[in-house]
Structure 1
Amino acid sequence: MVVIPSAEILETWRKFNDFPMETLTKAWYFHKGTSTKQREVSLMKEHRHQYGITGNCFDLALWLLDEFKKDGISAFLIGSRFHTEHAHVAVVALDNQGNRFLCDLGDQWLCPIMIETRNEDYTNDRLRGFFPGADIQVQPEKNNSVEILYHRPNGKFSKQVFNLHPIEMNDFLLGAEYSQNLIRPKPLFECRVPYQEETAHWEFYNWESFLSTNIGLHKEDQTEDIHHWVNVIHQKANYNKEFLFDALTKYTSIQGEDS
């Protein structure tokens, strides 16, 4: 039996169904000259209203946590490899029975998944419908960590370990500030898109785009033409075109500095 999240958790989670994960906002806001680079939720909401934008995994986790708390759902932040370029954060939400569910907007999951591996209904079978373009397995919890296995088409396989120890807000904000000041030269944009009878994962990275589906990875466009990507990303996620041009132009200057 697959345990799905409670209706309350799903109701909050679905508010973010059309929220991409991207680093364009990070590069754009970095150049605004503010003393801190991690935006507060109120400012993220303003920017969403003005430009249609969201942010990276730190932005999304902070925003999702805030929304869970406003909706009366117990939740906390988790993360790994803080103060490195590989840092990642997510949220754990609890249902009325205390079951924990991993809620990861940063990796664009389709649905929160139960990680209460001591629950009698827990299964480590391969599950579909939780992650775009992959089956998921949740391995038994060890040392307050849970391991997620990602089974992609054609035998491709990867895994990720989540430490389930709650992160204090001060520690989270320190890690977030480090991440928001770390501008890598390759732009990244990920979103969930309808594809045939499934929800697929569309990714723009380093001036190339890819579509991950249940039957495999499809390479799409490759060009450094900013106007092309402005139109494509606007079509995928309805981001403001002026914002996209500004953010992508900043990445070309970053690449110039890096070369």
Structure 2
Amino acid sequence: MKAPPEILAVWNKFHDFPMETLTKAWFYSRSGDKKQRTVALMKEHKAQYGITGNCFDLAIWLLDEFKRDGIEAYPIGNELGTEEAHAALIALDVHGNRYLCDLGDQWLQPVLIESTHEAYTPEKQSGFFPAADIQVMARQGEVEIVYHRPGGKQSRQTYDTTPVAEADFWQAGEFSQNHVYPKPLVEVRLPYKEETAHWEFDNWKSFLSTTEGLHLDQPLATLEEWVDRIGQKTGFDREFLLDSLNFYKQMKKESGR
């Protein structure tokens, strides 16, 4: 179910890239009409501030890297053009077999979704998603992922595997970047004991998901404390964190939530 070395080599360039909406808020408040950043601008921001971006940013950047390395890939998405949109990619090996690549949800590695491939199995697999085993249920035009989490908990997610034209994908990205949800989100893959765990900052709470279960962080009272904690997990620039978190604090104040 694992991707071949040439696909993994590109994917692994992003192994320490968090998914986050802080950049969306930060760039929204200081950009012109165009909110979806180009790959060149994303690289500049990464070099200067350590920042990465949301699922559209990561998918666009990953797609560019696949192209540069001569690997065929295309965007996919669910509910594109809405505030619930999610973006990912499918990469193809030299035989045309498809692999789901989702940096936005912080997968550990791509996974085979070609049901006719000899290596394909719908049985539970480990090592693809932080703190969960997965099952891949490939069907015509879509793939359902079943996540098996500690304590017997299950969740499901369905991806539409229909290729999205790049122009339409960029348009969906532009819509997404123009709509800042008032609750900040940061997701990071972090080493924990013998595994890679998933740390999340979501609406002013944070926690670590592991195969042992959920570890809740201590609540924090001040913006500066959040800057320190998020900075420690991500390596993001301190002034960037102050600016973006202040933006969200102001949104929360204005919305009354």
Q: Stretches of 4+ moved more than 6 A in 1?
A: none
Which residue is 2:62 aligned to? 64
Name 1:11's counterpart in structure 2. Answer: 9
In structure 2, distance between residues paired with 1:118 and 1:80: 24
Structure 2, gaps ≥5 residues long:
none
Q: Deviations over 1:222-257 (max 9, x none)?
A: 234111111111111110011101110111011111
Which residue matches 2:139? 141
Q: Which runs of 5+ in 1 are unaligned?
A: none
Aligned residues: 256
Structure 1 CA distance for aligned equivalents of residues 31 and 51 of structure 2: 19
Identify which of 126, 129, 137 aligns with 2:127. Answer: 129
- Partner of 1:128, secondary structure, is strand
Q: Does 2:44 align with 1:49?
A: no
User: Which secondary structure state, in structure 1, belongs to the residue aligned with residue 218 of structure 2?
Assistant: strand
8 Å contact from structure 1 (residues 77, 92) kept in 2:
yes
2:157 to 157, 160, 173: 160
Aligned pairs (5 A) from 1:226-237: 226-237=223-234
**What's the counterpart of residue 74 of structure 1?**
72
Q: Distance in 1 between matches of 2:15 and 2:136?
A: 22
Task: Kindly provide the CA deviation profile for residues 55-85 of structure 1, in whole angstroms up to 9, marking residues without a partner as x.
Answer: 0000000000000000111100000011222
The alignment's C-alpha RMSD in Å is: 0.9
Q: Distance between the aligned counterparts of 1:218 and 1:136, measured in 2?
A: 21
Judge conservation of contact 1:9–1:95 (CA < 8 Å) in 2. Answer: yes
Separation of aligned partners in 1, 2:222 and 2:13 = 33
In structure 2, the residue matched to 1:255 is: 252
Q: Distance in 2 between matches of 1:253 and 1:206?
A: 13
Q: Which amino acid aligns with 2:28?
A: F
Contact 1:207 1:224 in 2 (8 A): no
* TM-score (normalised: structure 1): 0.97
**1:218 corresponds to 2:215:** yes
Among residues 175, 185, 188, which one is paired with 1:188 in the alignment? 185
**Residue 203 (structure 2) aligns with:** 206
Instruction: For 1:161, give the aligned amino acid.
Output: T
- Pick aligned residue for 2:104 from 103, 106, 123: 106
Instruction: Check if 1:39 corresponds to 2:37.
Output: yes
Identity across the alignment (%): 55
Q: How far apart, in 1, do the equivalents of 2:249 and 2:212 lie?
A: 34
1:224 & 1:89 partners in 2: Cα distance? 33
Hey, what's the Cα distance between the residues in 2 that align with 1:77 and 1:195? 31
Q: 1:243 maps to what in 2?
A: 240
Question: 8 Å contact 1:60–1:106 — kept in the other structure?
Answer: yes
Relative to structure 2, which stretch is displaced further, 196-205 or 90-99? Answer: 90-99
